[in-house]
Amino acid sequence: MSDLLSITDLRVTFATDSGPVDAVSGVSLGLKKGEILAIVGESGSGKSVTSKSVLRMLPETSTVTGTVMLNGQNVVDLTREQLRQVRGSDAAMVFQEPSTALNPVFPIGWQISEGLRAHKVDGKRISKKAARQKAIAMLENVGIPDASQRIDYFPHQFSGGQKQRIVIAAALALAPKLIIADEPTTALDVTVQAEILQLLRDCRDNLGASILLITHNMGVVADLADKVAVMLNGKLVEVGDVNQIFANPQHEYTKKLLNAVPKIGGTRRLDYKPQASSPLVVAQNLVIEYPGRLNTPAFKAVNDVSFEIQAGEVLGLVGESGSGKTTIGRAIAGLTRSTGGSLRVVGQEMVGFRERKFKKYRKEIGFVFQDPASSFNPLLTIEQCIAEPLLIHSRELGEAKIKERVAFLLDAVQLPNAAAERFPHELSGGQRQRASLARALALKPSLVIADEPTSALDVSVQAKVLDLFAEIQKEFNFASLFITHDLAVVDQVADRLLVLYKGQLVEEGKTKTVLSNPQHPYTQRLLASHPIPDPQKQAIHRQKLIRLISES
């Protein structure tokens, strides 16, 4: 049987200011009907460009050669009009960020029927009424309750997971034979991710659609894919059956990639040695409210949370988006005002604090931000950025001493000396996050707040940054609040764990205990939703989640 999609020697070149750049160089792939092929690779590997070239959704600056046979037609040679016919009916796309893939000013039903009405069936356009009926049916298919009423709702009235369901419904509207899902769950929480993956699996099982899945998450691959293609620098390094890739990877890069994936219950990077001293942070019945507008009550982002951070301890804080975990981190750093209860940071009360009084204690706190690309002033060199805290708090050191200290810090985070003169955009993501750590450590703080420090990084880079974090934690022995949504990451570094759900602390304890024997139903569901990067174990793991959901 011939393949539904077959890509032969695909090359995509982009014209940039610094000359042509090959994004994809010579990729050949095949996808059969009803099959799920995952393309994995790190950022810049060309996986997204490959998937976009199937529908020729590339910018005008690109040049495509090779053939992309989709359902018997070569997409590369199609005219605009033919291409328009292919889009939506032969293949459809599910985007990464559901909140931007839907137009906020139109009701969702309109957006689903737009695709239906753009294509003629038997030379006739579908009527408005029929399109609406079809859209309702599609919404029911993807599990949106009360579809006949909610079809007139606007995108903002749905949650992130529901929006992604709607995007999938729109993609399915014309019963395409191929669904291209470009990082469909990356922007979603892990419990929602599990639901969307289940929905995509249903699309294949019940509708017989093939899926081209683009992802960097090996857990997602293990959960969904039949076949895996590994890309590196625009080239295909390995293609194979999912079980073979995970159990017996052939290429060095695939092995490296799989090794870098953090697993729950894997090797720990840090061990905590208790110290006898008073806790650095004490939160008692902490409440953080965001003021409401007229007629809307204040929003309680954090509600009645109590915890302590001991000196030299790494405390993990996990939760989904909106759980209040970042808010707590920001409150400790004095970026967000605490409104109730008590929060004492290095002995200072943060409820109703004054910046002027708190300023001298700021050198006790280092902060590592989530996105290293945006946390550096783009116009300052790395050296200037790292010297900032020293210039603010210890100007008396003098220029030479500060320079020396910056060099020492760069060395501590394993950045070459040459990086000092570079600008942030000239460093890679991992290097920037190292520099970010160096900046946080500049004043020898006793507490480092790390807000999702590795979630913007590729897995192999993430592994190296975590290694570094563990190493310098041992060396400098700071306490840390490690905020993350990734249970596997927190398992590697945190000694104790707090689980937040909707602003409340639902579980607290030793990381090992919590992850091996979760007590609260939410923690159980969180853990069961976390995909295991091994297809066979994941199949069993998935059953556990299904059982959990049916029980509740």
Partner 1 sequence: MRNFLWRIPPFKQLKMSFGVQRLMLAVGLVIVSIFVLMAALAPLIAPYGFAQLQYENGEYFGAQEPPNPNHLLGTTVGGFDVLSRVIWGTQTALMVIIVAVIMSIFIGVILGLISGYLGGWVDRVLVLVADAVYAFPSLLLAIALSIVISGGRSGLFTGILAAALSITVIFIPQYFRAVRAETLRIKQEAYVESARVLGAGNLRIMFRHIFRNATRTLPLIFTLNASEAILTLAGLGFLGFGIDPTMGAEWGYDLNRSVSDVSAGIWWTSIFPGLAIVLVVLGNTLVGESLNDLADPRLRARQSVEVAGDE
Cβ 487 to partner 1 shortest distance, Å: 25
Cβ 379 to partner 1 shortest distance, Å: 5
Consecutive H or E run containing 400? helix 399-412
Locus of tokens 């799989």: 258
* Residues 368 and 356: beta-carbon distance below 8 Å: no
CA distance 157 to 195: 19
Burial of 353 (0-12, 13-18, 19+ CB in 10 A): middle
Single out the residue of 9, 77, 252, 421 in contact with partner 1 (rule: CB under 8 A). Answer: 77
Cβ 315 to partner 1 shortest distance, Å: 18
Q: What is the CB neighbour count within 10 angstroms for residue 524?
A: 18
Question: Which pair of structure tokens corresponds to residue 309?
Answer: 């951070």
Instruction: Verify binding: residue 52, partner 1, rule CB under 8 A.
Output: no
Single out the residue of 2, 63, 103, 516 in contact with partner 1 (rule: CB under 8 A). Answer: 63
Single out the residue of 1, 72, 80, 273 in contact with partner 1 (rule: CB under 8 A). Answer: 80
Residue 389: partners with Cβ closer than 8 Å, 6 or more residues away: 363, 439, 442, 443
Cβ 392 to partner 1 shortest distance, Å: 5
Query: 72 to each of 173, 209, 437, how far by Cα in Å?
Result: 21, 16, 52
Residue 374: partners with Cβ closer than 8 Å, 6 or more residues away: none
CA distance 309 to 238: 45
The half-sphere exposure of 322 on its side-chain side, counting CA atoms within 13 A, is: 6
Instruction: Verify binding: residue 58, partner 1, rule CB under 8 A.
Output: no
Instruction: Verify binding: residue 54, partner 1, rule CB under 8 A.
Output: no
Instruction: Verify binding: residue 17, partner 1, rule CB under 8 A.
Output: yes
Question: Which pair of structure tokens corresponds to residue 161?
Answer: 């997971």
What are residue 283's DSSP bridge partners? 307, 343
How many residues sit close enough to partner 1 to count as binding (CB under 8 A)?
Answer: 37
CA distance 63 to 235: 17
Nearer to partner 1, 52 or 362 (CB): 362
Question: Which pair of structure tokens corresponds to residue 194?
Answer: 């599990």
| Cross-sheet strand order for the sheet of 19-31 | 19-31, 5-16, 62-70, 73-74
CA distance 145 to 197: 18
Burial of 129 (0-12, 13-18, 19+ CB in 10 A): exposed
Cβ 393 to partner 1 shortest distance, Å: 7
Cβ 203 to partner 1 shortest distance, Å: 31
Instruction: Verify binding: residue 393, partner 1, rule CB under 8 A.
Output: yes
Nearer to partner 1, 410 or 506 (CB): 410
- State the binding string over 439-468 for partner 1 (x if CB under 8 A, else -): x-----------------------------
Single out the residue of 97, 388, 471, 508 in contact with partner 1 (rule: CB under 8 A). Answer: 388
Instruction: Verify binding: residue 64, partner 1, rule CB under 8 A.
Output: yes
Instruction: Verify binding: residue 2, partner 1, rule CB under 8 A.
Output: no
Q: What is the CB neighbour count within 10 angstroms for residue 487?
A: 23
Cβ 20 to partner 1 shortest distance, Å: 4
Cβ 272 to partner 1 shortest distance, Å: 25
Nearer to partner 1, 289 or 371 (CB): 371
* Residues 218 and 225: beta-carbon distance below 8 Å: no
- State the binding string over 356-375 for partner 1 (x if CB under 8 A, else -): ---xx-xx-x-x-xxx--xx
Cβ 360 to partner 1 shortest distance, Å: 8
Q: Tell me the window of 59-67, 91-99, 233-241, 531-539 that interacts with partner 1 (CB under 8 A).
A: 59-67
Nearer to partner 1, 217 or 336 (CB): 336
**What amino acid is encoded at 147 in this protein?**
A
Single out the residue of 8, 13, 71, 233 in contact with partner 1 (rule: CB under 8 A). Answer: 13
* Residues 251 and 451: beta-carbon distance below 8 Å: no
Cβ 58 to partner 1 shortest distance, Å: 11
- State the binding string over 316-355 for partner 1 (x if CB under 8 A, else -): -----------------xxx--------------------
Single out the residue of 247, 392, 539, 540 in contact with partner 1 (rule: CB under 8 A). Answer: 392
Nearer to partner 1, 115 or 424 (CB): 424
Cβ 17 to partner 1 shortest distance, Å: 5
Single out the residue of 379, 396, 400, 550 in contact with partner 1 (rule: CB under 8 A). Answer: 379
DSSP per position, 66-108: EEEEETTEEGGG--HHHHHHHHHHTEEEE-S-HHHHS-TTS-H
Question: Which pair of structure tokens corresponds to residue 254?
Answer: 């695939």
| Site of interaction with partner 1 (CB under 8 A) | 13-17, 20, 61, 63-65, 76-77, 80, 333-335, 359-360, 362-363, 365, 367, 369-371, 374-380, 388-389, 392-393, 439
